[in-house]
Structure formats: structure tokens, C-alpha cells
Amino acid sequence: MNTIEVSARDIIEIDMEQLDLPLPNFNVQVGAISNNIIEAKKKGRLGNSAVRVFAWMVAQIQDEDEYFNSYRIKPNHLSKVLGVDRRALKREFRKVAEQLSTHSVYLENEEMQAWYNIAPGIEIDKVKDEFIFTFNDKLKPFFLKLKERGGFSKYELDKVFSFDNVHGFYMYLFLKKHLHQGQESFSFEYDIEKFKGALNIIGKYTQYSNLRLKVLEPLQQEFNDKSDIAFTFNASKTGKAFTTLHFTVYRNKGVKRIESSYEATETDSKLELLKEYHILLETFFGSLSKDELETFCDELRAESGLIKMHIVEKGAETNYRNLVTAVGFCPETLKKYKLPLENEYCKIITKS
């Protein structure tokens, strides 16, 4: 294995924003939602950004989770999830917070009926510089332990993020619910009003012609172009009114993934290594008590000298980002605390 040398100067010269926790690999993140939620009547507008955050939140849930967590995300990562520039992040976040906190689903069984807001808890942690999203605890049966409960559908996050149409996510879930594993195609019919409830368009497109032209046909085109599943549709009447939609959903074998022709450079390799290094160190910093962290900083000050002291001071106040930089100038302190100078990819060699 080739060793890539990374000096403290490399750490200084790379924009520290780039050393935020690495972005999730959207190609492998999978979300799962109860079919009851998929078919439920929904209300409260969701724009594209809010849909993407909702899909990302669900994909953070692990199979073994018994409770919802507070799902935290750094600004750089949230801008990637939303597909917006960092400069527009706060404005876009306000829209997402307003929409997600009021978006609700209607659930009914023999014992009860209720509207539940999906994500009532949305916060900004100013100290750690993180955005926090929380699910409604009432919805645990519809997102947690789904393998044990059954009746759920999965999606891959990268497929959801490829949709431009605001209805793409709910439509994808709706179709996936009906196309089971191992099936090449499946035909079914569905009540138009229930379909509109599932897609969060209750009270809109009262004429079937509008529903067809503004919702179904654009979705059909986008699924043909981008999705691993596609569909055909038509409608039938009861009396003079269209009341039933007829769908055939099938595997879309014509869609090919676009392979990147990008070749990694030595700088890119260093950046990936530094991201890994950042995680290892930040995990260590997070394990220290306040007193232990102050002692650690005292030792860094002693070794780094006056020139780098301001980096240590600033690092202790800014979620450890600059503290990682200071550590790069303090190999003896690293050794004393048995901090990781090596990871599974390559070796960090600190040089001042």
C-alpha cells in the first residue's frame, strides 16, 4: 500500500470547512417507510428541499433503532442534501423548517383517527454549528423496527435525490409499494381521491385532465428518464366523472447510471485522508470532560509555542475544527495521548 504523507502545513492550507464530517454516501443510504404512511392522506405543502430533508432523515434510521434520535447535520452537508449554495442555506432552511414542522399525515384504524405532524422538532445548535431534525414519537410504529412489523417499502436516497419533480418522492414510494421484490411488473387500480391524498395534493387538480397534464405525465417522463422503475397509466369513469386510476409499474431497464470520468489527484487523496483524520481526532475530543480538554490544550500550548497558540485557543471554542489543526503541530502530545497517527488507509506524518 502506498503511503501518502500529510504535513501540518497541508492541514493549515486546506480550507477547514472541507474537513467537516464526510458527506453521506447517497449511493448506499437506504430509507424504509411503513406502507401505512405511504398511502396515508397528507396535508401541508412540501417543497423540493423539504422533501429531500425528509428523505434524508428517514435514511438515518437504523434497523436496530428502538427510538428516534435527534438527527444532526453540519451546514456543509445540509447544503449538499438541499442542493443549494452555502450562502443560500439559512434562507432555504427557514422554508424547510416551516414546511416540515407543519406537514402531517392522517392515520386511522378501528380504535382511533389522528393527524400527526411528521417532524415537529427542528432546531439549530449554535454552539456545535449543527441543524437538528426530530421525528414525532407518535410515528415510531411507522418508521422503526419495520422488518419485525412488516408492510413497508424501501428507497435508495440517491434515486430520490435525482427527482426534480416535487411529487417524485411520494410517487416513487407509492409505486414501490405495489412492485414487490422479484416482480418485473405489476398492474393495479387506485381511487383518484386516495391517490391525491397519498401524493399530498388534496383539493388540487379537481379535473382529471389537469391531474394528467400537470402531475402524472410529467412524473411519467421523469421516471422514464431517471428512475429504476417506471409506469404507465389511464383512468376510468363512474358515470360522468373519472374516479379510478389504472397503473402498471415496471422495472425500468433503460436507465443507465452515468459513470464519473473524474480521476482523483494527490490533493484529493490528501483531503480524503484529512477527513478521516478529523473524525478520529474529533471523536477523541468529544470523549474528554471540560477539565480534561483544558489540560490537553495546556499541553498543546506548551508544545506548539506562541506562534500557534491562537490556533489552540480558537480551536477550543469552535467545535474542535482548529484544534485539529493545532494537533498537527504537536506530535509529542499526540504520542502521549496515544492519538491515532494511522488509519486503515494511510499514515499521517506530522511536520512543522
β-strands 185-191, 229-238 pairing: unpaired
Ranges of the chain whose pLDDT falls below 50? 1-27, 257-268, 306-319, 321, 340-352
Whole-Å CA distances, 110 to 107, 136, 137, 216: 11, 22, 21, 33
Q: Who's near 323: CB < 8 A, 6+ residues apart?
A: 281, 285, 297, 300, 311, 312, 315, 316
CATH, range 20-161: 1.10.10.10
Structure confidence by residue, pLDDT tens digits, 25-73: 444 578 899 999 999 999 888 899 999 999 999 988 888 889 998 888 8
Q: State pTM to two decimals.
A: 0.65
Say whether 165-256 and 20-161 share the same fold.
yes
**In sequence order, what are the residues at sequence separation of 6 or more whose Cβ sits closer than 8 angstroms to the Cβ of residue 153?**
32, 33, 35, 38, 173, 176, 177
Cα distances (angstroms) measured from residue 274 to each of 130, 277, 313? 21, 5, 21
Please give the pLDDT value at position 190. Answer: 95
CATH of 165-256 among 3.30.559.10, 3.30.70.870, 1.10.260.30, 1.10.10.10: 1.10.10.10
β-bridge pairing 121-125 and 229-238: unpaired
164-177: per-residue pLDDT in tens?
Answer: 898 999 999 999 98
Q: Which residues contact 146 (CB under 8 A, 6 or more apart)?
A: 32, 33, 34, 63, 152
Domain borders along the chain are 20-161, 165-256, 265-336
pLDDT at 306: 45
Candidates 186, 183, 177, 185; CA nearest to 154 is 177
